[in-house]
A and B are shown apart, each in its own frame.
Chain A
Amino acid sequence: MKVLVTVKRVIDYNVKIRVKPDGSDVDLTNVKMAVNPFCEIAVEEAVRLKEKGIASEIVVVSVGGSEAQEQLRTALALGADRAILVESTANTESLNVAKLLAKVVEQEQPSLVIMGKQAIDSDNNQTGQMLAALCDMPQATFASEVSVADNSVTVTREIDGGLQTLSLQLPAIVTTDLRLNEPRYASLPNIMKAKCKPLATVTPDDLGVTLSAHTQLLGVNPPPQRSAGVKVKSVAELVDKLKNEAKVI
C-alpha cells in the first residue's frame, strides 16, 4: 500500500527563539532550520511499515518555500521514495495547507496518511484533523502505537486520562505523538542516494487551489519572564515560607 507522509520545515528545536524588535514576528534570519520533530516521527513510522513489507511506497509532501526541499531530501534520506513540494509561501495557515494536501491526496490516493500532530513553531495541532475532514477520512490523532492489518489500522492514542485504542477503515489519517517511535539518523550513503530520488514541485495553481487568508497575525511578543526567587536552606524553612509568606498551603 502507498503511504503519504507530510513534513514541515521549522526552526530547529534546540534553537532559542527571538522575537523581532518591532514585535511583528519571530526572527528567523540565520536560524538553523530542520524537519519538525513530529513529522520526523511520521517519516520513521512510514519507513518501519515499509521495512515490515506493509507499505510499498512512501511519498513525502511538504508545503512551503523552495528551501523546504532540504527537509524533503532529509525525509528521502530516511527512507521515503519520492517527494512532492507544494511551493507556496503566502497564506500557509493550517486550513490552506490542508486544502493543498487534500488535492495531493486526491491525486496520489494513499491508503494511509501519517503526519506530525503539530508543528513546533505555530503549535496549532490542526492540519491532520482538517485534512481528514476535507478528504472525509477517519482520523487517529496523537498516536503512540500503529498497526496495519488488511483494510484497517489500529491506533493507540495518548489522551488526557491515559490511552485510547481505535480501529479505522483505510484510507485513514494518523497523527504522531512523541512516544510512537524514535527516529533514526540518516546514514551518509542514504543521504547521497536521496539526492537522486525524484522530487517534484507543484504550485497551488497547478493543484487548482485558490488560497485566501483566514487569520491575520497582528503581533508577537515575548512572554512575561519569571525570575529566580530565593534559595531556602532546609525543609522546615521551605514549609514555613509556603505557609506564612506565599500562603499556598
Chain B
Amino acid sequence: MAILVIAEHDNQQLKPATLNTVNAASQLNQPISILVIGSDCQAVAEQASAVSGVDTVLVADNAAYQHQLAENTAKLIAELASDFDYVIAAGTTTGKNTLPRVAALLDVAQISDIVAVKSADTFVRPIYAGNALATIQSLDSKKVITVRTSAFDAAGTDGSATITPCGLVHANAQSEFVSEELAVSERPELTAASVIISGGRGMGNGENFSLLEKVADKLGAAVGASRAAVDAGFVPNDMQVGQTGKIVAPDLYIAVGISGAIQHQAGMKDSKVIVAINKDEEAPIFQIADYGLVADLFEVLPELESLL
C-alpha cells in the first residue's frame, strides 16, 4: 500500500496546495511519494523532498512536460500508478484537469474534492455546491482522489526524501500550449492566504478595488472578488471566490459589498472568522458573518486602512 501525490508547481516553485494534499494523504497512514512532472523542475523536486512525511520524490523532467498538459501527463501518471494504491492530487484546476483522465485510463472512479478521510476507502466530499456532504466508499482497488485543499492544514517542511529521476517520456502530438496570461501580484495567493479581503458588485468598478488593496497591504492579505464583480468586468476571473472560482478557508475573510449569494458562500463559508461590510442590512452575507457592519464601504475602507 503506497500513495503517489502529484506535485502542484510551475517548474520553479512547489505550490502550497501540495502541502495540504500531502497532509490529507498522510491520514491514510501509508508511505507517500511525490511525483514532480515538468521541465527544468529540479528546484521543485528539492522543495518537494523537504515536505514532511514524504519518502521519495519522483521527478519526470522533460521538455514534453513543460506545460503539464493532461494528454501526456495522464499517461505517465497512469503508468507509474501500477506501483501505488492511491493517486492523489490537489483539487486545483491542474488536478481537476488531469486526474479524471488518469482514473479513466486506470478504469477506476475518481473521488473528487474530498474534505475528510474516514478510512482507507471511505471519504467525505461536498455535493450540491457544499449544501450537502456525501460519504463515499470506493470499490476500486486503486483509488484516484482529488483533495479540497482548504479542508486540510499544510504538511510541514522538515523532511528529507530521496529524489529519484523518472525517465519515462510520453510525447503529446494532440494538444499544444499557445499562451498564458497569469496574474502577477505581490500579495499572497488566494488559496494560501490567512487573511482575504474580497469585493463584490458594491465596489462599483475595478478602480475602487484599490481601496481593498490598501487594506490588504496593511493586513498582508490576498484580494478576492465575488462572481458578480468578475462578471461585471471589475476584476479578472482568477480573483473569484466561490463555487466556480476558488474555495478558500482563511483565518479571516472580509466580504465587502458582497451580498452573499449561495455560490459565493460555497467558496468561503469554512473561513474561521467572517466579517461582512455592506450597506444593505438584509444581505444574506450577514447570516453567516461573525461580525457585521452595516455601512457604506466607501467610508469604511479608508477608515479601516487608517486604523490598522
Contact = CB atoms under 8 A, between A and B. Distances in A.
Contacts of B100: 94, 124-130, 133
Contacts of A223: 126, 130-133
Interface stretch (B20-28, B45-53, B161-169, B177-185): B177-185
A219 interface: yes
Contact of A214 (B105, B108, B191, B244): B108
B96 A125 contact: yes
A216 B111 CA distance: 11
Q: Is the interface of A mostly helix, strand, loop or mixed?
A: mixed
Interface in B286-306: 286-295, 300, 303-304
Given A162-B183, A214-B109, A142 B93 contact: yes
Given A214-B140, A218-B135, A235 B293 contact: yes
B127 A248 contact: no
B178 A242 contact: no
A165 to B, nearest CB: 4
B238 A238 contact: no
Given A133-B105, A139-B101, A214-B139, A166 B287 contact: no
Given A95-B108, A139-B71, A133 B273 contact: no
Contacts of B43: none
Interface residues of B, number: 86
B103 interface: yes
A58 to B, nearest CB: 23
Contact of A239 (B173, B181, B236, B308): B308
B135 A246 contact: no
Contacts of A113: none
B74 A133 contact: yes
Contacts of A139: 70-71, 97, 101, 175
Interface of B: 67, 69-71, 74, 92-94, 96-105, 107-113, 122, 126-140, 173-183, 191, 195, 219, 227, 230-231, 236-238, 244, 246, 251-252, 269, 272-275, 281, 286-295, 300, 303-304, 307-308
8 tightest A-B CB contacts, nearest first: A214-B109, A229-B290, A129-B100, A138-B174, A133-B104, A130-B104, A126-B100, A138-B175
26 contacts: A11-B128, A16-B131, A17-B128, A95-B104, A120-B129, A122-B127, A124-B100, A129-B97, A138-B71, A159-B238, A161-B183, A162-B180, A164-B177, A166-B69, A168-B176, A179-B231, A219-B135, A221-B132, A229-B292, A231-B291, A235-B295, A236-B307, A238-B291, A242-B275, A246-B291, A249-B219
